[in-house]
Amino acid sequence: MVAPGKWRSVSAGADRDAEIAAAVDEVFARADRDSSAADKHWMRQRLAGALDGVGEAGGRVVSVAFPTQPVGGTVLPVTATVLALETSSETMEDALKALAAVAAADPSAKPLPTSAGLALRTHRVSDVKESFDAEVEQAPIEPEMRREIQAASSAMPMLRARYLFPAAGAKQWHAVSFSATLGTDEPDLVTTYLELFDAFAETVTWKEQE
């Protein structure tokens, strides 16, 4: 998948720890070494947890991507997770039938032509305030700052968009899941992020295993 140059991808392979360390160093390249030590440790833990996590539908996390530098003065609150799913199909006809069944069960489903073939996008917006506050409780920050962060808003809408990429034969189904923390769940903002995610997903191509 093609992402802008100011994004960083971290794979869950044998070099995972080295990739995590390099990604964290890039994010904090301009930060004071001593004052950023705790933040860097927290980010390393979060990346390791994301790569170790079990994805949706029994999937295995392949990689996680995220922006490392601001665009237009803002670092987008977005992450992308690539998943290898346990789903398999003998033929592409079977795969497309399975994809159609998923679409029929989800009103948000939308087919999307991509470089890897037809994909299916589904999405939802949910309030993640409770889980966010739980993360902040574990963050290496001063108690006063923790209280300020938790009191800053009563709700935290998050957009999650999932793109299913069917496959047949020896190929495994894959998915790309995007998450964006929103300041509001206004439909126009949701649409803007979905258009951005679509642009990323359209560049997905199959890569032969080495």
Q: What is the layout of strands, in order, in the sheet containing 110-114? A: 7-11, 60-67, 78-84, 174-181, 157-165, 117-127, 110-114
Query: Is 208 part of any domain?
Result: no
Query: Is 57 part of any domain?
Result: yes
Q: Supply the pLDDT for residue 193.
A: 93
Which own/partner contact pairs does 189-194 have at CB distance under 8 Å and 24+ positions apart? 190/123, 190/125, 190/159, 193/78, 193/159, 193/161, 194/121, 194/123, 194/159, 194/161
Query: Is 210 part of any domain?
Result: no
Q: Which two tokens stand for residue 109?
A: 């489903």
Whole-model pTM: value is 0.84
β-pair partners for 120: 111, 164
Count the domains in the chain. Answer: 1
Q: Which residue has the tokens 């939802």?
A: 124
Q: Supply the pLDDT for residue 23.
A: 86
Query: Is 64 part of any domain?
Result: yes
Q: Which two tokens stand for residue 37?
A: 């030590």
Q: Supply the pLDDT for residue 24.
A: 86
CA dist., res. 177 & res. 185, Å (int): 19
Q: Which amino acid is at 83?
A: L
Query: Is 133 part of any domain?
Result: yes
Q: Supply the pLDDT for residue 53.
A: 67
Domain holding 71, by residue range, is 7-201
- Helix or strand (DSSP H, E) at 137: helix 129-138
Q: Supply the pLDDT for residue 86.
A: 86
Question: pLDDT tens track of the chain, all 210 residues?
Answer: 887 668 888 888 888 889 898 888 888 877 766 656 777 777 887 788 888 765 555 678 899 998 887 777 777 889 999 999 988 899 999 999 999 999 999 999 999 999 999 999 999 999 887 877 777 777 767 788 778 777 777 778 999 999 999 999 888 899 999 999 888 889 999 999 999 999 999 999 988 765
Query: Is 2 part of any domain?
Result: no
Query: Is 209 part of any domain?
Result: no
CA-to-CA separations, 51 to 9, 17, 54, 60, in angstroms, rounded: 11, 10, 8, 9
Query: Is 37 part of any domain?
Result: yes
Q: How many residues does this entry show for the chain?
A: 210
